[in-house]
Amino acid sequence: MTDPTRLLPEYLYLFCTLDSTIRAVNAASTGSSAVSRNRFKEEEFLNFEIPLPPVQKQRVIVARWQKEQGEISAANSRVVKLEAEVPLILYHLLGTPPPETGKPVEKFLALWWKDLERWSFNFLSRSAQGLTGFVTSKYPIEALGAHLIETMNGYCIKPVAGPTPHKMLKLNALLPSGLDLSASKFIKIPERTAQRFSIHKGDLFICRSVGSYSHVAKCALAKEDAPDTLFPDIMIRVRLKDTLLPEYVCEVIQSPLGRSFFQSNARTSVGMWKIGAEDIASFPLPIPPLAVQKEITVHMAAKREEIAREKANAERLSREINAEIEALILGTKKVLPT
């Protein structure tokens, strides 16, 4: 606790979250791992020298930070709103009703055997809410398997200290905007293996095995060749016939209704949720003409660009306010009365 006549707790919080303070804390901690690293001790914290302007100036700094947090929160809210609009564009263009995720589920004690498609509470409860993929569209719905060239699981190997000639993707490489090749780790493998599991433009990658249910069937499209980067065993690589645009298939699969099919069919074992190539092959996919597929991807890309701009704006606001607060606390910028 602080003495509010000398130090506001909000001001102390801002000081503790400054980049310069965090760097000082990290410098005072030694060791290379969480186990061996020396913990930052209480006496070291109490020995910190903190710039201490009058309480009135502290209030001005805190008020300035709170005002900017409101602007950042508003920017983040706009991002959330825009992201919620993305699948609605897809549903509208495909003539598919949006899923009613908040729909109450009727409670029952028994089912007729003929109605029991699968002995799984997850599957049955989600089926009752209509969360089993695309079943309605103004276009024909076909199994994705009819349009597949191949599916293949990735490669399993432990990472090594780099740099090495080859890298392996991490799970967070799967982004709605596309495959993030920078989210990778170094590995050591023969060139022959690299050629088999390397990434090519147009490859679609789907998360097939993960501990978090919310990450089941996350997917991303490779927008460029990456011969030095491999995909891991937790992903499936999908290659498509020319009857489908990979960009279109990716948008359909990563929509809430698309992922609901895989989440309803996911199996769990030793804490891991899994889907397989058979689930991808049976995925129900609306098949519009290629021109319509292209139109859909153009609309979706435009919305994602708008989202990216809003995210960049929120990040810029955050950087600017952090820099300003640090300058006000350290005294490199004058605190003006409000």
Query: What pLDDT score was predicted for residue 35?
Result: 53
SS (H, E, C) the chain: CCCCCCCCHHHHHHHHCCHHHHHHHHHHCCCCCCCCCCCCCHHHHHCCCCCCCCHHHHHHHHHHHHHHHHHHHHHHHHHHHHHHHHHHHHHHHHCCCCCCCCCCCCCCCCCCHHHCCCCCHHHHHHHHCCCCCCCCCCCCEEEHHHHEEEEEECECCCCCCCCCCEEEECHHHEECCEECCCCEEEECCCHHHHHHHEECCCCEEEECEECCHHHCCCEEECCCCEEEEECECCEEEEEECCCCCHHHHHHHHHCHHHHHHHHHHCEEECCEEECCHHHHHCCEEECCCHHHHHHHHHHHHHHHHHHHHHHHHHHHHHHHHHHHHHHHHHCCCCCCCC
Q: Indicate the average pLDDT of the chain.
A: 87
Residue entry with tokens 């967070």? 172
Of these ranges, 4-13, 41-50, 116-125, the one predicted with the greatest mean pLDDT is 4-13
**pLDDT band per the 50, 70, 90 thresholds, residue 156:** very high
86 within a domain of the structure (yes/no)? yes
Is there a single domain that holds both residue 124 and residue 255? yes
Query: What pLDDT score was predicted for residue 112?
Result: 63
Of 169, 136, 138, 139, the closest CA to residue 155 belongs to 169
Is there a single domain that holds both residue 129 and residue 22? no
Q: What is the pLDDT of residues 178-225, one digit of tens each?
A: 999 999 999 999 999 999 999 999 999 999 999 998 899 999 999 999
Lowest average pLDDT, out of 23-27, 214-218, 233-237, 292-296, goes to: 23-27
Is there a single domain that holds both residue 125 and residue 274? yes
Query: What pLDDT score was predicted for residue 4?
Result: 84
Cα–Cα dist 164/277, whole Å: 31
β-pairing verdict for 235-240 and 204-207: antiparallel
Query: What pLDDT score was predicted for residue 34?
Result: 53
Residue entry with tokens 């809210």? 77
Is there a single domain that holds both residue 80 and residue 39? yes
Cα–Cα dist 3/6, whole Å: 6
Range of the domain at 193: 105-133+140-287
Is there a single domain that holds both residue 148 and residue 273? yes
Residue 282 has pLDDT above 90, yes or no: yes
307 within a domain of the structure (yes/no)? no
Contact 208, 275 (CB under 8 A): yes
Is there a single domain that holds both residue 82 and residue 209? no
Residue 333 has pLDDT above 70, yes or no: yes
240 within a domain of the structure (yes/no)? yes
Is there a single domain that holds both residue 118 and residue 247? yes
Is there a single domain that holds both residue 328 and residue 220? no
Q: What is the pLDDT of residues 109-147, one digit of tens each?
A: 466 666 655 555 555 555 555 566 788 999 999 999 999
Query: What pLDDT score was predicted for residue 93?
Result: 96
Query: What pLDDT score was predicted for residue 295?
Result: 96
Residue 42 has pLDDT above 80, yes or no: no
Of these ranges, 75-89, 120-134, 320-334, the one predicted with the greatest mean pLDDT is 75-89
Torsion sign across C-alpha atoms 89, 94, 99, 100: positive
Query: If you count them, how many residues does the chain have?
Result: 338
Query: What pLDDT score was predicted for residue 196?
Result: 95
**pLDDT band per the 50, 70, 90 thresholds, residue 298:** very high
Is there a single domain that holds both residue 51 and residue 167? no
Can you give the CATH number for the domain in which 209 is found? 3.90.220.20
Contact 235, 169 (CB under 8 A): yes
Residue 43 has pLDDT above 60, yes or no: yes
Is there a single domain that holds both residue 146 and residue 192? yes
Q: State in Å, rounded, how far the first CA of the chain is from the last one.
A: 27
Residue 94 has pLDDT above 70, yes or no: yes
Query: What pLDDT score was predicted for residue 312?
Result: 92
Half-sphere CA count of 79, side-chain side, radius 13 A: 15
Lowest average pLDDT, out of 115-119, 228-232, 300-304, goes to: 115-119
47 within a domain of the structure (yes/no)? yes
300 within a domain of the structure (yes/no)? no
Of 281, 261, 252, 243, the closest CA to residue 144 belongs to 281
Is there a single domain that holds both residue 14 and residue 68? yes
Is there a single domain that holds both residue 158 and residue 72? no
183 within a domain of the structure (yes/no)? yes
Structural domains in the chain (count): 2
182 within a domain of the structure (yes/no)? yes
305 within a domain of the structure (yes/no)? no
